[in-house]
Structure 1
Amino acid sequence: MSSLQPNCLLLLLFLYFVFLGYFIMIGYYHLENNICCPNKWYSLNHFSCLFNRKRPDVKTTTDWFAPIIWEGTYNRQVLEKYYKRLNITIGLAVFATGKFVDQYLEQFLQSANKHFMIGYNVIFYILMDDFSKLPPIELGPLRTFKLCTVLKQHVWKDFNHIYMKNLDMYIIEHIQHEVDFLFSMTVNQIFENDFGVETLGESVAQLHAWWYFRHAENFPYERRPKSAAFIPFGEGDFYYQSAVFGGTPREVLAFIKEYQKGVTSDNRNGLKSIYEHYLNKYLFINKPTKLLSPEYNWDPNFRTPPQIKHVKIAWHSKSI
């Protein structure tokens, strides 16, 4: 009997290490698999080594367990280590026509070149109606740009509707085959600090700087019941900023399709709502998988509260 005991102990130790190794491998598999396949975002978000709660002064997780990204709530080294191995490409689409070209496009591109997804493959998609106004562009390594002609029809009068129609076309045509993640941003913004891979997710929404520190009952949702963008009083999670929206190309495309349906429906009913209202309605129904704090899009016209540690993007609202 005594001679069997050491063998049993060795066997138990062997089985223990086998199972330990198995679970470690499974954990790493899921981590890599969820980064490669953003549709499984929910597992990635739950890794405490990536997103944690080091900021007791702010809300860092939504009621549906999506992380809210603030400075100090994510492990940049771990994120960089994994994303670097995947050779991902991130797209950034920007719409620039009329006065916005002369006023903001050069600053937007220069600052994005300096701060947007440094060290990763980046494609800037510049949607313009007059390429002769394109400012000189000197891009860093791993980044390039593509010019996309803005097509207009006389029935398209709304600035955002024109942009969404064109972005929809270009995502289907080629963007969805070229990038793993895509951000759509307005041109009246200037990057001031690193906007990195901590922002990546299947559906990424930007919390509005004007409304984040206010009570939900004051959010300026569309309140007309007949509108496709309608959100009743007493409902809604956050108020989202339309200047930044992103995710996988498939998710961005899904929003554009719903936005176009909403605009068409409202037109039939003699109604007109703003683009941001449709975005908020979509994100109310289809919860974003990652939320960016007001640090990622702060209005410099406002006094900066102590919760804002590092402004990533300065949004120039007065030009709207």
Structure 2
Amino acid sequence: MEQRYYRPIVQTDAARPEGALTLAGGWAWFSEVECIERGGARELIPAAWLPEEVAERLTASRAPVAGLGMERPRIMGILNVTPDSFSDGGRFDALEAALERAWDLVEAGAEILDIGGESTRPGAAEVDLEEEIERTAPVIAALRDAGFSAPISIDTRKAMVGDAAVEAGADMLNDVSAMEFDPEMAELAEISGLPICLMHAQGLPETMQDDPDYGDVLLDVYDYLEGRIALAEAQGIARDKIVVDPGIGFGKTLAHNLALLRGVSLFHGLGCAILLGVSRKRFIGTIGGAAEAGARAPGTLAVTLAGVAQGVQIHRVHDVAEIAQGLKLWRALSEGYEE
């Protein structure tokens, strides 16, 4: 029998019909689901018709991630301590600049910090292991020594880099290769007990944008992440410690990115919190007419709010102040505001 996929049609309106289901224990709800068969029919069905195990996955409250509850959207601020990241390379690779930037991001509204020492932009080359450790671990250690209490995520594909970061005080692992680049990342996640984000990418950064190809990008990425979750669980990592990321811009064309964003609510069916990394990506500049990456904050906010409307919990962004302001307005409109 052909596998069926179930994409909740997500709503956030206060006028909620009786019998509607709460999405992932959060702020959104759904009463209808798009039932999808690969290469076949797509039809809307009432949420009440869902198989019991699917309904449980879609509605169960997500576990906190690095101490942050997933009942509302969370902002992950990006701190690239690299010389060559696509939009801010070289700005924060010196220790003092990195520390100042970290405090600024939290003051602007970041609730968790994602620190990376290796650019994974299209065409980027792999960074030497020791160099990546030297770029990241001292920054984390210095922040903790200075009393920085916000959660810190380490953005790396390498277990030894992750281990050094954990020793320095990191609270989360963020692996853009979903533990494929370095299988020992699974052991680190299991032993440390920290949450880990598993991201989809087609190919390595050096070549991933050469000719990305999918049968059905939404279903292909879903199947890949489902397989990586199964592997993680088999190696002792609990599902409630896993966050998933569809990998916008990682081995995807503009059309692929839009298809994933339109259908991103499908990934709630994996039973994990979702992380979305769209910040300043090329497709935003192409559609929005912003050639410079730093001019893409308005487009980033638009896509972020579209993700929030589909129940996405964690939003990884450069322009924290702008996104935080947008989310405050969204919450005032959806939840009310008192002066």
TM-score, normalising length from structure 1?
0.31
Indicate the structure (1 or 2) with the bigger Cα radius of gyration: 1
TM-score, normalising length from structure 2?
0.30
